[in-house]
Amino acid sequence: MEIKRIGVVGAGTMGAQIAAQSALHGLDVVLVDSDEGQLAEAERSNRRLLERRADKGTMTKEEVVSGLGRIRASRDLEEIATCQLVIEAVFEDMAVKRAVFAELAEICAPDAILATNSSTFPISRLYDDLPYPDRACNLHFFHPVLAMRLVEIMRGPETSDETVAALIAFADRIEREAVLIEREISGLIVNRILAAIKREALWLASEGYAEPEDIDRAVKMGLNHPMGPFELTDFSGLDVFYRIMRQRYEESGDEAWKPPRLLEKKVQAGELGRKTGKGFYSY
């Protein structure tokens, strides 16, 4: 299957940029969100990011206009009925995602590929009875999508080779490099490794071994990482990592994954990182 028309459900930062990256490479995109304001913000954000590229000379103004012109914003999920690939990119909440997939199962064509951008939940946990589970999988982009080249493709228990091949071709079409994960696992590859680093950093700080700033400096200088674990947690959101830790703890019962009080207090106080102006650092 050659994918020419895609649907993206969820117009937040990830969904908006997945739509933009796809549209810039000649694909027709339907971007769906129930919130009219969120759709408007997605358009403004994409235009701002792409016009900045045009100002720097890395793309032309004509490319910006034609790319944005391929994105159709809609509040009506029915408009994705003719899409060959639908990517769910809503809030990282299982109940919300399951509700979306229940609707997609009713709306989408039987040959459409249904994917989740989730890095937390394997695809098989997001539906009970898809009519074609061989065409469902995880397709995880990285923030910011317009800059990060990696895409993780993770098979579900019944994902077909044809589905995987179509998604690898799609990733190549939009100039993203795919890594295939052959079996389901929560967190996929990159976020599991990052989570382990963040968890250890939080433990060191919680137990008083070092301050977050010094842990970040050590990781950046000693491992040559561009950001330390606390800076990275601020960037992606303390609430996001808190949910990841809670999920791992509930799944495994491993006390090592129980969110430390240091993280819990900040989340309860609304100190979620860059998006709120304060996390482990102030912005």
Catalytic sites, residue numbers:
119, 140, 152, 191
Let me know the angle formed at the C-alpha of 216 by 213 and 219, rounded to the nearest 5 degrees.
Answer: 150
Length of the chain: 283
Contact 127, 159 (CB under 8 A): no
What's the order of all strands across the beta sheet hosting 136-141?
A: 71-74, 28-32, 5-9, 85-88, 113-116, 136-141, 150-155, 177-181
User: Could you tell me whether strands 136-141 and 150-155 are parallel, antiparallel, or unpaired per DSSP bridges?
Assistant: antiparallel
Residues 6+ apart with CB under 8 A from 279: 230, 233, 234, 238, 266, 271, 272, 273
What distances in angstroms separate CA 127 from CA 97, 166, 210, one per listed residue?
9, 21, 43
Distance CA 89, CA 38 (A): 13
Around 111, how many Cα atoms within 13 Å sit in the side-chain half-sphere? 8
Best CA proximity match to 42, nearest among 10, 85, 4, 70? 10
